[in-house]
Amino acid sequence: MKWNVFKYSLSLRLSASVIFLLLVAVVLSLLLRHEFGSDWLVALIVLAVMAPTSIILLHRQLRSYFSLFRALAGTVSSYRDSDYSFSIRWKSDDEIGELVKAHNDLGDTLREQRLNLVQRELLLDTMVQNTPVAMFLRVETGPIVYSNLAARSLLNDGKKLEGYSLDSLIGNLAMPLQEAFQRGGDGLFSVGEGDSEEVYHLARRSFRLNGRKHELTLLRQLTTELRRQEVQTWKKVIRILSHELNNSLAPIASLAHSGAELVRREQYQRLEEIFKTVEERARHLEGFIRDYAHFAKLPAPRLESVFWPTFVSRLNSQMSFVLDGNLPEKSGQFDSAQIEQALINLLKNAAESDTDLHEVKLSIRHIAEFIRIDVMDRGKGMSDAVLTNALVPFYSTKRSGTGLGLALTREIIEAHGGRIALTNREGGGLIVSITLPA
């Protein structure tokens, strides 16, 4: 940094003022000493004249600097309030001028950064507000502090949610939505029946903001995505069926042709072996088709009164689990064989989830006009992708899985007028909740 010390330096100006005052004092002392012989009297007169003169002169010199300091204090306060629209003018090209220039450059930089940040926030808010995913942010166990248009439409007829508690908003929602919000954790559930059925995925994420714990909730409708996935799945099934049929029918056709040739030649020794091979391939094909037809042609449930202790005892003889809580005193009304098959599928999945067998639990409760059955484990749970596709027929993450277990369970439960929901448990594991009419 270079200074023009002979013209612009602040220290030079102040030094010149001090030298000027000293010269005036000396000249005045000499003149007064010539008039008055006493040094004390001269000193008193010089002091009386020079003191106010020095104060007035220094005040005039520093008055502009005092104004500058007040302006600097004001702009700093504006910066603290995120207002960067102020700048300061200073005519002199001295040390203070350099300070003012640096201060203005800082304001320009902050103003530019603030503008970029506002533009990013505007872009992000536009994206969040127009996404079909309903999302809202709330203080843990406190009010909602932010929400987008989809969340407002879902929970409050398009009105703002800020300031409301979640419990005060979910009372008018469909029962599956209420249960999903109250249950906690991530989950997959459906609302409605038949063609009007809508499938949703609920996700929650917790984090700390400004020293307080917040929870971000995302609710995504998966109906269209699932239907598109089901179309792709059915195409895959058709390819599997075609492959399996060809693998069985081609050998049968070849063996039938060979058998006809042997009959024509009256060589009957190998006919028994050919017929046996044809029978094996036919039975294999029959079993393969029967397994898939069982899912496609689920019979209507035959409702009957079921005594819970007897039902649970029979179920426990086939699968190991721990009963959580007491059984309902009132008997249930459902197809015992179908619900037993559904629970066997769920308990089998829980046992294969890398969990201890004593952590596989079954809970049956009577809640209002519904029976709530929960199958719980302490395995790894499900990722969002698996939760999204878990109920799609023929979707499986197991190497040898058919993908029919959960899909068949869903068909059985919905045939009974009930619902099924999958939710990751806090602390690890999965809970599959079945709700049946009581």
> For position 27, what pLDDT does the model report?
76
Q: Which residue has the higher pLDDT, 337 or 298?
A: 337
Structure confidence at residue 100 as a pLDDT band (50, 70, 90) = confident
Residue 369 pLDDT > 70: yes
- Tens digit of pLDDT for each residue in 159-201? 888 888 888 888 778 787 777 787 766 777 777 766 667 778 8
- Considering only 74-83, 114-123, 418-427, which range has the smallest mean pLDDT? 74-83
| Max mean pLDDT range (147-156, 232-241, 248-257) | 147-156
What is the model's pLDDT at position 373? 93
Between 347 and 13, the higher pLDDT residue: 347
Band of residue 396 on the pLDDT scale cut at 50, 70, 90: low
- How far apart are the C-alpha atoms of 396 and 403, rounded to whole Å? 4
Q: What is the pTM of this model?
A: 0.45
Which residues are CB-contacts of 333 (< 8 A; sequence separation ≥ 6)?
303, 304, 305, 306, 437, 438
Mean pLDDT of the chain: 78
